[in-house]
Every structure is written in structure tokens, then in C-alpha cells.
Amino acid sequence: MNGEVLTLDEFLSFNIAILVYFLGVRLNKQFAFLRHYNIPEPVSGGLMVATLALVAYGVFDKEISFSLGARDYLLYCFFTAIGLNARFSDLAKGGKPLLILLMLTVGYMLFQNVIGTGIAVAMGLPVGFGLLGGTISLVGGHGTAIAWGPRLVEQYGVVGAVEIGAATATLGLIAASLLGGPIGNYLIQVKGGKPDPNRPDEGPVIGIETDEEADTSVTHTGLMRAILVLNIAIGLGVALQEALVYGFNLDLPVFVCCLFCGIILSNTVPLIFKKMIWPARSRSLAVISDLALGIFLTMSLMSLQLWTIAGLAGPMMLILAAQIVGAGVFIIFILFPVMGRDYNASVLGAGFAGFALGATPTAIANMTAVTKQYGPAMQAFLILPLVSAFFVDLANAAIIVLFLGG
């Protein structure tokens, strides 16, 4: 089917995303099961619009395409805010749980590829096909699938690898968005990972207010200060990413470099300029961070071209079904007990489902939805982005090469 393509420009796409977010808020208020299973508002609204676009494509032969240039900037803002909120003292406190989560993540990635390649080989398909149903498309996401696709076609005989990988990543993102909330709710309500009612107040979901202005209200000067510092950190992150590519042939995602620069700035500038009001852990920065995540995820989900999933072969659907079950089993029976069987472990479970099948922003959205209902979990928000953003891409490249035989 080669229908007419209706491309919406940047301005319209951005504002539609805001409307779609509010649609998600309305849907979550209207339907109790969405609230009960902690489905994020961007997921509710975004998947509704993606479904309507699918109907337009199938019935009216019209392909609706959104312009997503603003989405990357929102992603950079969100992860830079996480970096600005991080302190080396907090990282030291999270040392052991961070190391444990990293080892669990590497183990899960190996497990995910064993599932994918095992089913593929059993059905007489190339190992590369199984990896498309493993960490290439799921943990790796669309970018990794597109990057590895041509190599799988040329060197490993996986026909249509780019298209299969992109479609698999799309379905994985949907599964990740829908699986995290219910898993978090199950771990809290059934497995005993409830928050301790006697624990000290941890502040908001991401960050704790520190300066006087942040403790009173969000002001226009606070917002401008936060935006300025965010943009400085983002500019440094982009420059760092380019330097790593040209100087060391190390191609890290830009948002990882932005997160790193945010951490460095927040742990150096306030020490050098002690009288400067720094926006880290302020209400103003939290507002910008929440806005960036909400609209980013909304744009990501509402722009999904669900008709591309129809091209997935039967074997890939079988692999994906096994991966969803495998992720749930791993989280409930391995990750949750090893991470302590407590509330932070429950929130980590919701987040782990997000990036194990989808992407780090999905993981954060899943955790945010859980903490909105049950309360903050600072440790989970501290260590999961560091693992999923810093270490996973590097580990994934080595693991993929390992499974392909070098």
C-alpha cells in the first residue's frame, strides 16, 4: 500500500504532543485499570493516537507522519537534568547497588540473546535474526537496530534486517511501556515490596530542593536559570560526543554525554562559585525535567507507525512473546530478590522492564508512574539511569559481537 503521506511540521507536532499528553491524563482518570497498573499518561494518549493513525492508514490509505526534531532536544534536557541532580556523594552511597544492578543487567542481556538466538536456531534461522529479537532491537532500541541492520544483511544473511529490527524495536517499546507499571504494582502489592511508612522523607521523585528559592515556588528567574544551565550542559555534551567520535572512535549517544556533563558541572561549579545559585534539585529544574520527559515519550509513542509491525514474521513474534515472558520472570524472580525485596527494588523492577524491552526514557516514565502512586524512591532513580545510559550501550556492542562470533 503506497498511500498519501501527510507530514505535520515541527510546530504542529509539538503542540499536538501536548494535547495528546492531556488526552492520556483524561484516559487515566476515566479508566481505573490504567491507574491501577500505573500506565504513564504519555503511553495512554500516545498509543491511542498511534492506533488512530493506524486506522487512517488502513482504511483511508493516509500515512500521518510527525516531525520529531524537538524530541531529541527534550531527551537531552531530561537526561541533563538527571546529571545536574546527581552528586558524587550520592553516587558513592549507591556504589554497591549500582554494581549489583550492572552485573544483573549484563547477565540479563546475555539471557535475552540466548532466548532470541536459541529460538532462531531451533527454527533454522540465522543467529543474527535471533539477535534482532534480542539486545540489538530491544535493549538497543531503534538506533542500534538501524546501525547493525546493514551488517546483518551483508555478512550474516538476514534479509530485511533493518526493517525487521525497526519493527521489533517498535513492538518492544510498546511492551516496555505497558509491562513496567503492572510489574511494579505486582512487586509492591503481592511480593511485599511496599514503601516503609516510617522512612524519612526523600523529597520529590527526582531530586531534593536545596536553595531557598526552590523551597518556596517556581519563578521565572528560577526557570531561566535552569534553562540556561541545561543548555550549557547540553552544548558541552554535544561537543564531548563529537570529540569522542573524532578523537577515540567512541560513538556514545549524545544524551549520555549530556548526562555526564551535567554531573561534572553540578559537582564542580557550586564548589568554585560558592555564592552562585545553582538550579540542581530545584523545583524549577524538576518542572522542566517532567515536561521534557512527558512530551518526549508522548511524541515517541504517538509517532509509532504500527502498520510496520505487520511485517514481522511469525518466528519474530514468537521470539518477542518469549522475551516479554523472560523479562517478567527475570525481574520477579532474580532482580527483585537480589536488589533487596524492598520498595526501591519494586520501582527498579518497573524501570528495568522499561529499558530491557524499550528505552531508558520509558524506564523513567514507568518508575515515575509507580512513584506517583506510592511515593519517591531516590535510589532507584539514581542508579538505573547510570546503568542504562552509561554502561548498557558499551556492554551491548561487546555482547552482540560475542554472539555473532567476532
Q: How far apart are CA 245 and CA 237, in angstroms?
A: 12
* 132: nearest Cα among 303, 311, 386: 311
Say if CB 172 and CB 132 are below 8 A apart.
no
For a pLDDT cut of 90, what percent of the chain falls above it?
Answer: 48
- The 3-state DSSP class for residue 210 equals coil
pLDDT at 200: 52
Amino acid at site 35? R
The number of angstroms, rounded, from the C-alpha of 107 to the middle of its chain's C-alpha atoms is 19
pTM of the model: 0.77
Question: Of how many residues is the chain composed?
Answer: 406
* 229: nearest Cα among 90, 389, 85, 84: 84
pLDDT at 213: 42
Cell, residue 215: 523551597
Say if CB 41 and CB 24 are below 8 A apart.
yes
Say if CB 177 and CB 301 are below 8 A apart.
yes
pLDDT digits (tens, 9 = 90+) for 96-148: 888 899 999 999 999 999 999 999 999 999 999 999 999 999 998 877 787 78
393: pLDDT strictly greater than 80: no
pLDDT at 100: 94
Per-residue 3-state assignment (H helix, E strand, C coil) for 173-200: HHHHHHHHHHHHHHHHHCCCCCCCCCCC
Cell, residue 89: 556523594
Helix (H) or strand (E) holding 63: strand 62-66
212: pLDDT strictly greater than 50: no
Please report where in the chains the cell 554497591 appears, as a residue: 96
Mean pLDDT of 241-269: 87
Average confidence score pLDDT of the chain: 86
pLDDT at 388: 82
Q: Which sequence spans correspond to the domains of the chain?
A: 4-404
Mean pLDDT of 297-306: 88
pLDDT at 311: 65
pLDDT at 188: 94
What is the number of H-type helices and E-type strands within the chain? 20, 2
30: pLDDT strictly greater than 50: yes
Mean pLDDT of 244-258: 82
pLDDT band of 206, cuts 50, 70, 90: very low
pLDDT at 69: 87
pLDDT band of 93, cuts 50, 70, 90: low
Mean pLDDT of 217-231: 92
Residue 315: partners with Cβ closer than 8 Å, 6 or more residues away = 119, 120, 123, 125, 129
pLDDT band of 2, cuts 50, 70, 90: low
pLDDT at 121: 93
CA angle 47, 323, 390 (to 5 degrees): 80
pLDDT digits (tens, 9 = 90+) for 328-383: 999 999 999 999 999 999 999 999 999 999 888 889 889 998 998 898 887 888 78
pLDDT digits (tens, 9 = 90+) for 281-299: 889 998 998 899 889 889 9
Amino acid at site 370? V
**Is domain 4-404 annotated with CATH 3.30.70?**
no
Beta bridge partners of 63: 5
Say if CB 125 and CB 315 are below 8 A apart.
yes
